[in-house]
A and B are shown apart, each in its own frame.
Chain A
Amino acid sequence: MAGVFFVFLTLLFTLLHAMPGDITNNLIGNPNIPASAREQLRQELGLDLPLWQQYLRYITNFFRGNLGMSFSRAPNSVASILADAIPRTVFLIASATILAYWLGFKTGKIVAWRRGSRSEHVLVTAGVFFQTVFYPWFAIVMLWLFGLILGWFPLGRFITSSLWNATPFTPREMFTWMILSAVAALAVYAAATMVIRRITRRPTTRATAQRVAGGAVVAVLVAAWWASPARVYAADIVHHTILPVITLAIVNYAAVMLLTRSSMLETMKEDYILTARAKGLDEKTIRDRHAARNALLPVTTSMVLALATVVGGAIVTETIFSWPGVGLLILDGITMNDTPLVMGGLAIIGVLALIGHLVADVLYAVLDPRIRLA
């Protein structure tokens, strides 16, 4: 994995240096800058060194967290600009993915179980449509419909600037706190689930207890934010967040739903399903505990393959919704000729993809004992 990332960085470096000329070529057109000044700049930037030394510098600087200075946002370093943007992109990708996989798996298994029914046909057709829909166009339509016509959500961006003028909080601190609280709530819910599993073994009791625990955690989280002085600002961020997340999630949801369905259809023909039927188990138990458990495996594998799509989708989402994340930074950097920003952003996207792969691999090992033993 680490080796793969190394090769990725090398590729980035090569791409950067495959361009004819270097960054000082931008100054050629300016008659006030003499050739000696350009030469001096080349020396200062280390562009006169042999390529392997430049490469070594690039790699060591990258791992020291030094991604260079941004050209278009001059006094800021790329690392500090990206530090603002990364949590937003991670949040967008993570919440859309979780939402899509959670709902997609739940509905996918039901759809497969109702094979041949009218509701199946409708859902599958809608699913295929949303999976193949031209994503930027779909995002535009969503923004137009919910932002402009219905006016439920703001037209893009991350915060309402006028609201934040006289606050002691920065959006970045606020967002960090929000994410931390959500993660804490998730952890509490996970702990509660484990406790419930220890206490009772009956599936129905477990399900009810888990639902109650989930509701309680969400209620406490919302109540805590409601009581805090930062309520308005948190609500502002949430308000801006909903539409991009839902838009990205719908497209991924359709893919997960269809995949779960076909995976379920394969599993449903296995002998152990017949055995479960012969034992006289009820349909819901067969579906949820025998078929769906095994159908989950190909769906998890697909997470690795779908990651590239999600990342690409996140970039398009950020462009359409003016969501100031890494993707928008990369595109802005391209229009502004801000090479360090583009390269830094792309490297971060690579890191995110790497972490995503790792998470998917770990999940797969947790779900499939055969992988663990091997």
Chain B
Amino acid sequence: MLTEPTRPTEAERAPAVVVSQPYWRVRLSLAWRGLRRTWALFRQNSVGMIGLGIILLFLLGAIAHPILMATVWDPAVYHPVHGYDAVVIEKEVVEEVTDELTQIEVNEARLRTDPFVQVGDTLRMPQQPAPPSLRGEHPHLLGTDPQGRDILSQLLYSIRAAFILGALAAVMSVVVATTVGSVAAYFGGRTDSVLMRFSDLILLLPILPVLIVIGAYFQMNMPILAVTIGLFEGFGATAIVLKSQALQVSVKPFIDAARVAGGGHAHIIFRHLVPNVMPLSLLYMMFGVAGAIALESVLSFLGLLDIEMSWGVMLNVAQRQGYLLSGTRYWWLLFPAGLAVTFLAFAFFLVGRGMDEVINPRLRSR
């Protein structure tokens, strides 16, 4: 006679894992622990830390600008776009000019000021661009540009826009690329080939000429540019790289397990695939920030953007006013802006390399 199967009593049952906390707190603490572990690894990486240090310095500058404008700097003089300061410099009247900044040719002096000026006189004359000085009522630490605006103020003011542009473009590109890559890798087949052919097409288009032409025919401002760059990078190279990473993840057993457990496509992609592609995505985000800032600067250097002030615009002003090859004589027109773009891109690149070594253990020296 068949005995009725007895249900296990409460005591016989395997002890269930008791989760006393709500799930979101468990997830949060896990994420926090992962973050701290990553940070510990990243901190050992001197290259990445140097990059982070430079980025923090730039951030400080970005914060300092509005504070300085509100306290010490008179907006009428120091405003990066509309400010003006008529700097007056003492110039010696000479026959032959050897130094444009401190000397003036006698005939030119007669034309511009007093017709009875003699060689050897000293004249007080307005000078634009003015060299860096600490003296005077309005000191200009990095001098002024050809339109009498403070270079340091422009330099600091441009940081914020550069950060916003870089971050917006990079986030945009990574969100698009991660989604496209994961979807292509997960579904495969026709979806994959359509998306990847599209990536090939984007890859075929050299981004700078395309942006030049778009910039020539349409008014492009910062947000539109950021979104354009983001979409371009996101559907192009980054999507291909992230797809190959997602492909490696998508054949792992836990994806099959999730499918067997009844997970839907969206659930598997966004809960299981994307988190495992994420580290690489973040890495490409760092490189994306550097790329976007460089692109913006090139375009505004060529004068194709509808932007009032950025590092590229500063160089564009110097170029339009004919100081392009002035080199070290008017160094404050060329070097601060050029080096600012370079160092910010440099910093993001270093952070990216640091993260690369955290993500990819084979690159570590130990």
B25 within 8 A of partner (CB): no
Partner of A115, one of B206, B207, B365: B365
**A357 to B214 CA separation, bound complex (whole angstroms):** 24
B362 within 8 A of partner (CB): yes
A216-236 residues with Cβ-Cβ distance < 8 A to B are: none
Residues of B within 8 A of A311 (CB): 206, 208-209
**Which one of A61-69, A128-136, A237-245 is at the interface?**
A128-136
Known contacts A134-B297, A305-B203; A140/B209 CB under 8 A: no
Q: How far is the CB of B112 from chain A (nearest CB, A)?
A: 27
A169 within 8 A of partner (CB): no
Known contacts A137-B338, A319-B302, A342-B216; A265/B363 CB under 8 A: yes
Q: Mark B191-225, 1 if CB is under 8 A from A, else 0.
A: 00000010011011111111011101110000000
Nearest-CB residue, chain B, relative to A136: B301
Residues of A within 8 A of B205 (CB): 8, 11, 308, 350, 353
Residues of B within 8 A of A133 (CB): 342, 345-346
B180 within 8 A of partner (CB): no
Known contacts A15-B213, A136-B315, A327-B209; A304/B203 CB under 8 A: yes
Q: How far is the CB of A297 from chain B (nearest CB, A)?
A: 14
Q: Mark A299-325, 1 if CB is under 8 A from B, else 0.
A: 000001101100110011001000000
A273-288 residues with Cβ-Cβ distance < 8 A to B are: none
> Are B203's CB and A129's CB within 8 A?
no
Q: Mark A346-357, 1 if CB is under 8 A from B, else 0.
A: 100110011001
> Are B302's CB and A342's CB within 8 A?
no
**Which one of A95-103, A142-150, A205-213 is at the interface?**
A142-150
A269 within 8 A of partner (CB): yes
A5 within 8 A of partner (CB): yes
A41 within 8 A of partner (CB): no
> Are B302's CB and A134's CB within 8 A?
no
**A316 to B316 CA separation, bound complex (whole angstroms):** 13
Q: How far is the CB of A343 from chain B (nearest CB, A)?
A: 8
Q: How large is the interface on A (under 10, 10 to 19, 20 to 34, 35 or more residues)?
A: 35 or more
B327 within 8 A of partner (CB): yes
A186 within 8 A of partner (CB): no
Residues of B within 8 A of A163 (CB): none
> Are B197's CB and A308's CB within 8 A?
no
> Are A349's CB and B206's CB within 8 A?
yes
Partner of A140, one of B325, B342, B346: B325
B278-308 residues with Cβ-Cβ distance < 8 A to A are: 290, 294, 297-298, 301-302, 304
> Are B362's CB and A308's CB within 8 A?
no
> Are A308's CB and B206's CB within 8 A?
yes
Nearest-CB residue, chain A, relative to B197: A4
Residues of A within 8 A of B165 (CB): none
A74 within 8 A of partner (CB): no
> Are B213's CB and A334's CB within 8 A?
yes
Known contacts A148-B325, A346-B213; A134/B204 CB under 8 A: no
Q: How far is the CB of A299 from chain B (nearest CB, A)?
A: 15
Known contacts A315-B209, A353-B204; A149/B327 CB under 8 A: yes
A94 within 8 A of partner (CB): no
A90 within 8 A of partner (CB): no
> Are A334's CB and B209's CB within 8 A?
no
Residues of B within 8 A of A330 (CB): 209, 212-213
A262 within 8 A of partner (CB): yes
Nearest-CB residue, chain A, relative to B311: A134
A1-38 residues with Cβ-Cβ distance < 8 A to B are: 3-5, 7-8, 11, 15, 19
Taking A132-B342, A304-B203 as given, write out 9 further A-B residue pairs in contact, using a Cβ cutoff of 8 Å, ordered by the A residue number: A134-B341, A140-B324, A144-B327, A330-B209, A330-B212, A331-B302, A346-B210, A354-B204, A357-B203
26 A-B residue pairs with CB within 8 Å: A3-B197, A4-B201, A4-B204, A11-B205, A129-B346, A132-B346, A134-B311, A135-B298, A136-B297, A137-B334, A137-B342, A155-B325, A262-B356, A265-B362, A305-B203, A308-B205, A311-B206, A312-B206, A312-B207, A315-B209, A315-B212, A327-B209, A330-B209, A334-B304, A350-B204, A357-B203
